[in-house]
């Protein structure tokens, strides 16, 4: 599956990188969504 990255996504990713947010975590989340990996998604769930 190919995910198209929008301009907004690119800007947000760049902003997170400047704030020293761990980009690897974002990449892991996206890979889990693509692969529908429920164990990883449950470990990295939204805490809001």
pLDDT digits (tens, 9 = 90+) for 8-31: 989 998 999 999 988 888 888 888
> Which string of b and e fits 15-44 if b means at least 16 CB within 10 Å?
eeeeeeeeeeebeeeeebeeeeeeeeeeee
Residue 7: pLDDT band (50, 70, 90) is very high
Kindly state the greatest CA–CA separation across the chain.
30
Angle at 30 between CA 25 and CA 32, to 5 degrees: 95
Please, which pLDDT band fits residue 48 given cuts at 50, 70 and 90?
A: low
Distance CA 25, CA 17 (A): 11
pLDDT in tens, 26-39: 888 888 888 888 88
């Amino acid at each position: 599956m190919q995910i198209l990255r929008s301009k907004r996504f690119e800007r947000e990713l760049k902003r997170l990188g400047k704030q020293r947010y761990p980009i690897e975590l974002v990449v892991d989340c996206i890979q889990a969504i693509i692969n529908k990996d429920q164990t990883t998604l449950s470990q990295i769930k939204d805490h809001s």
